[in-house]
């Protein structure tokens, strides 16, 4: 990606297109920059990392590509619409490969549940666990469809910064029992505890506690079944590079390895940003893809806030954090043939473990794991004959009173993770590992500037969603906008991409300034 020279405010308005600065080259920031470029803005994206993608970036080590964050693409029409808005064809730039089955869930007693798109095959999986729950499962899928069309296609595609927009939909929220949690809704439809887990764990992919996140998020079940689950060849990092190419083709630039220290405000409106070097860059509008807590507490630290004060943000409930172990294995491409692209390994507890992670902030000896083996789909992630894995365990964020010293805990926790993997999924793994990287909650705090080291920004509880979530258009400063997981609709890659679509409805087309 190219580097650009700073431009002062006068130059930004002297015979040039209106300028926009996007803070953060995560997927939300890149999508926002593409949308703004399509509207005629000259866009500069600034990010502290050396590659675009944010949490969706990658590391390369000893021939292995480690995709650091999101691993799947759902609702592919969102991306095609984004590219189309820029006059481009998504499928010319990114190759999607459908994954079916989507993933396999395993329990310690050997029980398995294979999530897949075909309804008859999926119902057969339900019947293996609990034949008496088939009717309830059918009802759950119907419930999921209703919430998708309301929660995603309606609320998720428009701004919710006006209170009236919330008031208008309160009757629908009540009718759809948005006050009920995802787990409670699953429990109201099926009796089998394993099936309840299989139908309710999805909020963990967006940082939410299934015991407390609003049941609107059961929409994920419909979203997966209706549109499929896909893998972007080259990973999300490859998609991020493709997004960066579109931005540059529009005349925009990506300024990498550069950190924004402050959003500059004069007379109540943004005039640009100040970099860590002290250099000031001017802009007509600023879009922050940084975590909303970091945006308001740090980047706007010298500006008095009316709503998103430090006190209010201190009361905000953030998502859990993550312990992620990335590793490559030597000569295992044909080993473990029953282990596919995605596997979820359950520990002995489900609801108890969730309470320990989200409420008590307690790091436990037992764990549940998400295992990503992209090399079965995309050989480019590893040297020939080898494998690339990432294994993720939800853990408490750094804000709990009984905090963990991760420098001390990391080797112990990794050893427990290895023991579970060898026992339940990958026998002999320890002797095959050739290279590795570990991310702890402290990595999320330092690499992504995420408050409390949270993995997914603000938790999507009902009173932290829609109007209650930080708005896409800031009420604190004129000319400031927010995108990404910490704003509306946020939560999950489709939500993050949708924040840029909402943004495009709030910002007028640019005009050439003479």
Specify the long-range contacts of residues 82-89, CB closer than 8 Å, at least 24 apart: 82/31, 82/34, 82/35, 82/497, 82/500, 82/501, 83/34, 83/246, 85/34, 85/35, 85/38, 85/504, 86/34, 86/35, 86/37, 86/38, 86/246, 86/250, 87/38, 88/246
**Using 50, 70 and 90 to split pLDDT, how confident is the model at 463?**
confident
On whether the CB atoms of residues 114 and 125 are closer than 8 A, the answer is: yes
pLDDT over 80 at 1, yes or no: no
* pLDDT of 222 strictly over 70: yes
* List of domains in the chain: 9-95+233-315+458-506 (3.50.50.60), 120-227 (no CATH), 321-448 (3.30.519)
Q: pLDDT by residue (tens digit) across 317-366?
A: 999 999 999 999 999 999 999 999 999 999 999 999 999 999 999 999 99
140 has a pLDDT exceeding 50:
yes
Mean pLDDT of 491-497: 90
Q: What is the pTM of this model?
A: 0.93
pLDDT tens digit sequence for 259-297 = 999 999 999 999 999 999 999 999 999 999 999 999 999
Q: In the numeric block, which tokens belong to residue 2?
A: 């190219």
> Tell me, what's the pLDDT at 401?
85
Please report the pLDDT score of residue 166 as a whole number: 77
Comparing CA positions, the residue from 319, 353, 325 lying closest to residue 443 is 325
Residue 9: predicted pLDDT = 42
- Cis amide bond preceding 101, omega within 30: yes
Residue 141 CA to residue 115 CA, distance in Å, equals 13
Neighbours of 352 (CB within 10 A): 13
Share of the chain above pLDDT 90, in %: 84
Give the mean pLDDT of 221-241: 95
Q: What is the pLDDT of residue 510?
A: 81
Distance CA 374, CA 377 (A): 5
Per-residue pLDDT, 4: 42
Residues 371-395 have a mean pLDDT of: 97
pLDDT classification of 7: cutoffs 50, 70, 90: very low
Mean pLDDT calculated for residue range 58-71: 95
Whether the CB-CB separation of 491 and 206 falls below 8 Å is answered with yes
442: tokens are: 């402290």
Alpha carbon 466 to chain centroid, angstroms: 17
| Structure confidence by residue, pLDDT tens digits, 430-454 | 999 999 999 999 999 999 999 999 9
- Work out the angle at residue 351's Cα, subtended by the Cα atoms of residues 491 and 485, and round it to the nearest 5 degrees: 10
Which backbone phi and psi does 309 adopt, to 5 degrees? -80, 160
Query: What is the arithmetic mean of pLDDT over 471-489?
Result: 95
Instruction: Give Cα separations from 491 to 310, 319, 440, 460, 471 (angstroms).
Output: 22, 10, 20, 7, 14
């Amino acid at each position: 990606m190219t580097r650009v020279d700073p431009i002062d405010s006068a130059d930004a308005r002297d015979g040039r297109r209106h300028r926009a600065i996007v803070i953060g080259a995560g997927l939300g920031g890149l999508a926002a920059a593409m949308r703004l470029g399509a509207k005629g803005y000259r866009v500069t994206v600034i990010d502290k990392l050396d590659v675009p993608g944010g949490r969706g970036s990658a590391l390369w080590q000893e021939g292995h590509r480690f995709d650091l964050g999101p691993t799947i693409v759902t609702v592919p029409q969102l991306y095609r619409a984004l590219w189309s808005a820029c006059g481009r064809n998504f499928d010319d730039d990114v190759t999607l490969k459908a994954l079916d089955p989507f993933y396999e869930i395993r329990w310690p007693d050997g029980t398995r549940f294979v999530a897949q798109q075909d309804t008859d095959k999926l119902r057969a999986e339900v019947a293996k666990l609990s034949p008496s729950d088939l009717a309830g499962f059918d009802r759950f899928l119907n419930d999921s469809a209703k919430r998708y069309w309301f929660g995603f296609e309606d609320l998720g595609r428009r701004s919710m910064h006006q209170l009236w927009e919330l008031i208008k939909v309160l009757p629908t929220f009540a009718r759809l029992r948005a006050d009920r949690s995802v787990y409670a809704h699953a429990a109201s439809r099926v009796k089998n505890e394993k099936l309840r887990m299989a139908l309710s764990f999805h909020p963990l992919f967006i940082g939410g506690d299934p015991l407390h996140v609003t049941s609107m998020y059961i929409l994920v079940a419909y979203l997966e079944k209706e549109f499929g689950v896909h893998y972007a060849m080259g990973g999300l990092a490859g998609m991020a590079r493709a997004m960066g190419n579109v931005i540059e083709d529009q005349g925009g630039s990506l300024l990498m390895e550069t950190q924004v220290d402050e959003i500059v405000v004069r007379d109540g409106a943004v005039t640009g940003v100040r970099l860590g070097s002290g250099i000031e860059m001017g802009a007509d509008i600023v879009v922050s893809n940084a975590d909303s807590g970091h945006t308001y507490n740090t980047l706007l630290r010298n500006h008095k806030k009316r709503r998103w004060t430090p006190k209010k943000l201190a009361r905000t409930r953030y998502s859990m954090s993550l312990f992620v172990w990335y590793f490559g294995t030597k000569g295992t491409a044909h080993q473990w043939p029953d282990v596919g692209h995605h596997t979820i390994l359950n520990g002995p507890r489900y609801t108890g473990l969730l309470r320990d992670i989200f409420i008590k902030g307690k790091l436990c000896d037992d764990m549940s794991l998400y295992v990503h083996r992209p090399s079965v789909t995309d050989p480019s992630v590893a040297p020939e004959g080898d494998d690339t894995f990432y294994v993720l365990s939800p853990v408490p964020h750094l804000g709990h009173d009984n905090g963990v010293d991760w420098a001390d805990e990391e080797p112990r926790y990794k050893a427990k993770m290895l023991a579970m993997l060898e026992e339940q999924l990958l026998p002999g793994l320890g002797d095959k590992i050739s290279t590795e990287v570990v991310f702890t909650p402290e990595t999320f705090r330092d690499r992504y500037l995420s408050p409390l080291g949270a993995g997914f920004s603000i938790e999507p509880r009902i009173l932290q969603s829609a109007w209650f979530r930080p708005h896409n258009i800031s009420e604190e400063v004129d000319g400031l906008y927010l995108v990404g997981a910490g704003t509306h609709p946020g939560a999950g890659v489709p939500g993050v991409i949708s924040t840029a679509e909402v943004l495009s409805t709030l910002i007028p087309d640019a005009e050439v300034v003479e």
